[in-house]
Structure 1
């Protein structure tokens, strides 16, 4: 299997997170009264860029540029990627409404506000990525070097946390015997 195929296989959980976000946006749009067409534009306009950026994040994890399971790098990544994904959504929506793509009014303010919201998305993305990945990566572990590296990182992280708990006395304690 080539490296690109392994990367594509490894990044499926991240793509699933973006697809889920787009699906939720589309469903919420239809619940809010949008027509099926508008709900589809909402879902695809948001879901596709989130899938692309999510895959980008997973590639960084796979290549060892970003440590797996650590929030700070995810937050830095999404403070840039999340506003850009919402900008793509806004441009796509403008294109459908007006017939030509256009930027939102005051694009820098638009991006800055979305950057503030990105921390919540980063938390949710990282959590969902790990939840889906913990079921997917062991499945592809025997033939995918990126999954193997990531699972090893999570195992090392868990061992480090357990050692830290034990060193500070917050680990499991055995009850004292009363003689």
Structure 2
């Protein structure tokens, strides 16, 4: 069984990610000993969104197009309204999500980020949660939407909002330590 301290985790983001939804998982997973990389569309730092204005930049380690699922144990997608809406129209993002899904690796999405899972076709038939305003979108993608701080279905971890981040990170670590999760192809 893999240990969180030996895990490699990829966070994907672009401008407009919810500040806490990138920083808290990144920092807390690093505290647990995981190696965490941030990939952006252009491989350059991305600017967060905090409250009602732009926030801090997150450094990038690589371009999303250069990221490979086989190099990581888990994929984390922060929310905010802007970030997942921009990511879900990018072919490289959708292909990466599908690769993580098809290899049975942990995929974690918070707030509006389940939009990306819906676009990649991996929400259908899954128990999931999301920010309440996209509940109908996630249900229309075929998921069984639940109102809970964290919902897990075969290694796919979803949470609703920044207040759920502690439970979100704990569940990511737990799912990584369980190993891969065999799933039907998307």
Shorter-chain TM band: under 0.3
Question: Which of the pair has more CA radius of gyration?
Answer: 1
Q: Hey, which of these two has a bigger chunk of strand by percent? A: 2
Q: Hey, which of these two has a bigger chunk of helix by percent? A: 1
